[in-house]
Structure 1
Amino acid sequence: MAGLFKWVSDSWAKQFPKGFFLNDAAEVAIALENAEMAMPSLVEDEAGTRLFIGAIYCACNQPIIFKEKITTIITCTNDTRGFPSFNNTVKRLKENLGIQYATLTWKDDDEQTLSKDDLGGAIKFIHKQRQGGESVLVHCVMGKSRSAALVLGYMMAKEGIGLDEALEKLKACRDVAPRESFLRQLKELEDWLKSLKSEMQELKEVVGKEGVDVAVAGLERMK
């Protein structure tokens, strides 16, 4: 088996830049054991910028990050200590390619609040990166709940759609299962976005744009 790990590592080494492949037998083992979970799901692909969602193993999958030209990674988990491969990968990608990282220290439990500061800031960050032509990966541990909550919030703000429609669209891309407490809070976001429509014209004049810019402007007013 060690020979297989070395063969995979050596094969990847020929295809990708130095320092941008799994060059440690333990990391290769993790990648092989979690091959399906290491593949991100494409949510949006438009104007040269893409949005992906996935598990923490996706953020460790350096060849896929390179292939898909992912330049921004948002981590939606409070603890990555159990994933040394992830922490090693973060260090490598920052040093070798300048991958940008942002972290939301969300716990996957019913007590976790999706605050306007966290949610609004992350939505704004995704929007800014994609406006600059960057491709973004949003992940938590399993790619089902916390990362899904953020992607849903972004879709609602960007497209002006309700939670049910956003969830239907996201489930068409990936088997997600956001925690019920997250869905309740996203429903509150939906209600707030609906109420924002009465202020939409004024906000459009303030930010000069629609979609996420308007929603973020509203979120900032709520602070």
Structure 2
Amino acid sequence: MKGISDIDLANVREKQRLDEVNKVLEMSVSKVPGDEKIYISGIFALRRPATLKEAGVTHIVSALRFDYKETKGWENYTHCNVQIDDTDDENLIEHFPRVVQFIKDALAEGGGVLIHCAMGKSRSVSLAIAYLLATRPSLTPFTALSLIRQNRPLADPNSGFMTQLNLWKRCECTPDLESCGLYQRWLYATEVELSTSIGRAPDRLRFEDEEKAKSGSASLEAGDATKAMRCRRCRTLLAKEEYIVDHDPKAPAEEDAISSTAPLPLPNPDAAAASSSSVACGHFFLEPLSWMRPALEAGDLEGRLLCPNLKCEALVGRWNWKGLKCSCGVWVTPAFSVQKGRVDLLSPAVERGRGAQAAGVRMPPGMRVPPPRDGNL
């Protein structure tokens, strides 16, 4: 039997060398490039008060399940404690507004901020990126990470945190995160994912048209400048273009597409056009809408989507909380799928006053527009 080869020995030595380098980096205090006094480290840096004093650190953000009062000299700093684990499904984004404001206040006072977790690799780096995105609008999560890696090569947020950083960017880093519709959709998606992982439908139903109606931003009514999806048989309105979920496999990838897809696909106003351009794609995917309520309230994991017009009730598609694979090969979770052959996506011209009637579209009972009255109003 041959012994260990020179190549194997070289690989072992290289791994040992990298491990030693990483240990040193974990203990080091790395400055975030820029004029501001913001530093990243692992927990061991708290045992080096002289280093922190030299760096001008006055405020500390601790991003782990940890009682900072157990460290010697904790009272010499102003603390912000974020109790989180380094797991993909941890909700880190909910802490971004508080942490960003804490850092801003510290810097405004002329202080310096240390952001640390266990190793200075994922949680602390993610919080630093959240701050950079909020204060340097030209950055993306990927470019901010690249910036931090200039001084801290081991920086590597987990994929779930990168997803949330992309979401934070899309929410325009708003301090009022609870009012951001994209954030609320992401929260709901995590609920759905948790429920389906144990074989159950979600306990809470969220219909996007109702949520937008609450905020006064949109409704399911026709008559605006967007396309409208209607049942091909009876012309009942099913969805406006904004409720179509983009799942086009050929959509251009973003530069910072590291885990940039949230659990629930986020809507794209150009989704219909993108999907229509793909011959292989035979489905539209919708967000959950209020007309689906009777089907979803039954508590099943999957089922059929019927036209909500009780005089029609044509089969238009199907839904599955665990997801469906489109004919184009893309898997969408959860999935509310409508077959393109069973609906029509009508242009705004058809939807306007003269549109449906002038185009010879047969309207269902209750939706027919009465003829204009003669004489004065």
User: Do these two structures clear the TM 0.5 threshold for a shared fold by scoring above it?
Assistant: yes
For residue 163 of structure 1, the aligned residue among 128, 134, 141 is: 141
**Maintained 8 Å contact 2:46/2:71:** no
**Maintained 8 Å contact 1:38/1:60:** no
For residue 70 of structure 2, the aligned residue among 84, 87, 92 is: 87
Q: Deviations over 1:84-134 (max 9, x none)?
A: xx8232xx241xxx3111100010112201133x11100111011111111
How much does 1:142 deviate?
0.2
Relative to structure 1, the CA distance from residue 216 to residue 184 in structure 2 (aligned partners, 3 Å threshold; closer, same or farther) is closer
Tell me how far apart the structure 2 counterparts of residues 55 and 181 of structure 1 sit (CA, whole Å).
20
**Maintained 8 Å contact 1:70/1:135:** yes
Amino acid at match of 2:27: A
Structure 2 equivalent of residue 198 of structure 1:
none
Amino acid at match of 1:106: I
Task: State TM-score, norm by structure 2.
Answer: 0.39
Matching of residue 148 in structure 1 with residue 125 in structure 2? yes
Relative to total residues, which structure has the larger helix share, 1 or 2?
Answer: 1
For residue 114 of structure 1, the aligned residue among 70, 78, 92 is: 92
Tell me how far apart the structure 1 counterparts of residues 179 and 83 of structure 2 sit (CA, whole Å).
24
Matching of residue 43 in structure 1 with residue 32 in structure 2? yes
Tell me how far apart the structure 1 counterparts of residues 179 and 88 of structure 2 sit (CA, whole Å).
27
In our comparison, the structure showing a higher alpha carbon Rg is 2
Q: Describe the SS at the equivalent of 1:110.
A: coil
Matching of residue 67 in structure 1 with residue 88 in structure 2? no
The number of aligned residues is 157
For residue 167 of structure 2, the aligned residue among 188, 191, 195 is: 188
Structure 2 equivalent of residue 6 of structure 1:
none
Tell me how far apart the structure 2 counterparts of residues 143 and 72 of structure 1 sit (CA, whole Å).
16
How much does 1:35 deviate?
5.6
Q: Name stretches of at least 5 consecutive residues in structure 2 with no aligned partner.
A: 1-22, 185-377
Tell me how far apart the structure 1 counterparts of residues 178 and 101 of structure 2 sit (CA, whole Å).
10
Relative to structure 1, the CA distance from residue 132 to residue 216 in structure 2 (aligned partners, 3 Å threshold; closer, same or farther) is farther
Structure possessing the higher relative contact order (Cα contacts under 8 Å, 6 or more residues apart): 1
**Maintained 8 Å contact 2:61/2:116:** yes
**Maintained 8 Å contact 1:123/1:216:** no
**Maintained 8 Å contact 2:115/2:124:** yes
**Maintained 8 Å contact 2:93/2:168:** no
Q: Name stretches of at least 5 consecutive residues in structure 1 with no aligned partner.
A: 1-33, 194-214
Tell me how far apart the structure 2 counterparts of residues 79 and 62 of structure 1 sit (CA, whole Å).
18
**Maintained 8 Å contact 2:33/2:147:** no
**Maintained 8 Å contact 2:63/2:83:** yes
Q: CA RMSD in A?
A: 2.3
